[in-house]
Structure 1
Amino acid sequence: MYNVLVTCSAGMSTSMLVQKVAKTAAEQGIDLTIEAVSMNEGKIRVKKHDYDLLLLGPQVAFMKEELSKAAGDRFPVKIINQKDYGMMRADNVLQDIIQSIEGQK
């Protein structure tokens, strides 16, 4: 099972992508929990919860260092590929999630 948090400016622009990624994962039989939240909510959750991966929308890439420090060694923080994000390529984002998490094990 993969547990992923996605954060962006307000949490709305990533919501559509997150829905597509969840649907793609379900179609492929991959056990994935994925949720989109605002940056403010993301900052709170990173301190209180453990995830397998924190993904950032490209528009908040400048926050990676701060969130990486908050996550520490508990889980990686990665920026969603801008082209995949813009074109809503859920299959590419899902593949990146799996590779990022499996690469940490």
Structure 2
Amino acid sequence: MKRIYLFCDNGMSTSLLATRMQKVADQHNLQVEIKAFSDKEMPMIVEEYNPEVILLGPQVKHIYNKVNERYGNDRPVLVIDPKDYGEVNGERVLKVALKAYKERKQ
């Protein structure tokens, strides 16, 4: 099962998006686990669960370089598009995450 984990300031604002993404994944019978967390939990979560994709909420895009430097060799690290984030477009964000995962695997 692939893990796609979203991180933002508190994990609260991304939780609705993660729920919508999981619903889309379930509707398409995709074997993925999508969860949201606070960026402060990232080191512990990444070490323990080793997600295949890390998504950052637009409000924490300032940590992208640091996160990508630390974790980007092993997995895609992406900042969620602000428009998709604002519209809580779970389908679009899931497609972007899965595309990045597939491209990395090739």
**TM-score, normalisation: structure 2:** 0.92
Deviation of 1:47 after TM superposition, in Å, equals: 4.3
| Residues in 2 aligned to 1:68 and 1:45: alpha-carbon distance in whole angstroms | 15
Q: Aligned in 2, Cα 1:47/1:68: closer, same or farther, shift over 3 Å?
A: farther
- 2:32 corresponds to which residue? 32
Residue 15 of structure 1 corresponds to 15
> Which residue does the alignment assign to 2:59?
59
**Structure 2: how far apart are the matches of 1:72 and 1:27?**
29
Pairwise CA distance, 1:53: 0.6
AA aligned opposite 1:19: T
Runs of at least 4 residues of structure 1 off by over 6 A? none
Q: How many residues are aligned here?
A: 105
Instruction: Give the 3-state SS of the residue equivalent to 2:6 in structure 1.
Output: strand
Q: Sequence identity, in percent?
A: 30
- Partner residue in 2 for 1:82: 82
Quote the RMSD (CA, aligned, Å).
Answer: 1.3
Amino acid at match of 1:90: G
The one-letter code of the counterpart of 1:93 is V
User: Match for 1:53: what amino acid?
Assistant: V
Contact 1:20 1:90 in 2 (8 A): yes
Would the aligned equivalents of 1:50 and 1:75 in 2 still touch at CA under 8 Å?
no
Quote the Cα distance in structure 2 between the aligned partners of 1:90 and 1:72. 23
Displacement of 1:42: 1.4
The 2-side partners of 1:55 and 1:81 are apart by 10
SS in 2 for 1:88: coil
